[in-house]
Structure 1
Amino acid sequence: MTKSIVDTAGSVREGEELPIEPLRKWLDENIGDLQGEMHITQYSGGASNWTYCLAFDNRSIILRRPPKGTKARGAHDMGREYRLQNALKPVYNKVPNMLGYTDDESIIGAEFYVMEKFEGIIPRKHFPRGVEISEAQARKLCEVALDDLISLHNVDYKSANLEHIGKGEGYTQRQITGWITRYNKAKTWNVPSGKKVMNWLEANLPEKETICITHNDYRFDNLVLSKDDPTQIIGVLDWELATLGDPLMDLGNSLAYWVEAGDDFLAKSTQRQPTDIPGMMTRQEVINYYCTKQGLEPKAFDFYEVYGLFRLAGIVQQIYYRYHHKQTRNPAYKTMWIFVHYLMYRCNKIIKRG
Structure 2
Amino acid sequence: MDEAGLPGAGVPVSARLLSGGAQNEIYAIERDGERCVLRIPPAAAPTERDKGILREWRIIRALYGSEVPHTRAVAVCADAGVLGRPFYLMGFVDGWSPMDHRNWPAPFDTDLGARAGLGYQLVEGIALLSKVDWRARGLHDLGRPEGFHERQVDRWTSLFERIKGRELDGMDVATAWLRAHRPLDYVPGLMHGDYQFANVMFADGAPARLAAIVDWEMGTVGDPKLDLAWMLEGWPADTSAPEAATASYVNLQGMPSREALAAHYADVSGRQVDDLDYYLILAKWKLAIVLERGYQRAGDNEKLQAFGPLVPTLVRTATDLAETTTYPN
**Which residue of 328, 336, 341 corresponds with 2:307?**
336
Q: State the partner residue of 1:62.
A: 38
State the 1:221 CA deviation: 2.2
Q: Deviations over 1:300-344 (max 9, x none)?
A: 4321101111222233234445544x8xx6x42232232222211
- Structure 1 segments unaligned to the other structure (5+ residues): 1-26
Q: State the partner residue of 1:12.
A: none
State the 1:240 CA deviation: 1.4
Residues 1:165 and 2:125 aligned together: no
Residues 1:251 and 2:251 aligned together: no
Distance 1:214 1:266, change over 3 A: same
**Which residue of 309, 314, 323 corresponds with 2:289?**
314
State the 1:105 CA deviation: 4.9
**Which residue of 11, 14, 17 corresponds with 1:40?**
17
In structure 2, how many angstroms separate the alpha carbons of the residues matched to 1:261 and 1:84?
35
Task: State whether residues 74 and 88 of structure 2, in contact with CA within 8 Å, keep that contact through their aligned partners in structure 1.
Answer: yes
Residues 1:352 and 2:319 aligned together: no
Q: State the partner residue of 1:178.
A: 155
State the 1:196 CA deviation: 2.5
Residues 1:196 and 2:173 aligned together: yes
Residues 1:49 and 2:23 aligned together: yes
Distance 1:143 1:335, change over 3 A: closer
In structure 2, how many angstroms separate the alpha carbons of the residues matched to 1:67 and 1:268?
38
Q: What secondary structure does 1:163 align onto?
A: coil
In structure 2, how many angstroms separate the alpha carbons of the residues matched to 1:305 and 1:238?
22
For 2:149, the aligned partner's letter is T
User: Cα RMSD over matched residues?
Assistant: 3.6
Q: State the partner residue of 1:303.
A: 278
**Which residue of 73, 87, 93 corresponds with 1:98?**
73
Farther-moved stretch of structure 1 (49-58 vs 307-316): 49-58
TM-score by length of structure 2 reads 0.79
Q: State the partner residue of 2:63.
A: 88
1:95-134 to structure 2, matched below 5 A, reads 95-105=70-80, 110-124=85-99, 125-128=102-105, 131-132=108-109, 134=111
- Structure 2 segments unaligned to the other structure (5+ residues): none
Distance 1:241 1:156, change over 3 A: same
Distance 1:104 1:75, change over 3 A: closer
Q: What secondary structure does 2:25 align onto?
A: strand
For 2:90, the aligned partner's letter is M
Task: State whether residues 41 and 50 of structure 2, in contact with CA within 8 Å, keep that contact through their aligned partners in structure 1.
Answer: no
Distance 1:101 1:181, change over 3 A: farther
Distance 1:203 1:54, change over 3 A: same
Q: State the partner residue of 2:265.
A: 290
Task: State whether residues 191 and 337 of structure 1, in contact with CA within 8 Å, keep that contact through their aligned partners in structure 2.
Answer: no
Q: Deviations over 1:116-140 (max 9, x none)?
A: 3312121234314675352322233
State the 1:50 CA deviation: 2.7
Q: Percent identity?
A: 20
Q: What secondary structure does 2:134 align onto?
A: coil
Q: What secondary structure does 1:198 align onto?
A: helix
For 2:91, the aligned partner's letter is E
Q: Deviations over 1:252-293 (max 9, x none)?
A: 12212434546999997672333x221x12223322332344
Q: How many residues align?
A: 317
For 1:53, the aligned partner's letter is Y
In structure 2, how many angstroms separate the alpha carbons of the residues matched to 1:307 and 1:189?
21
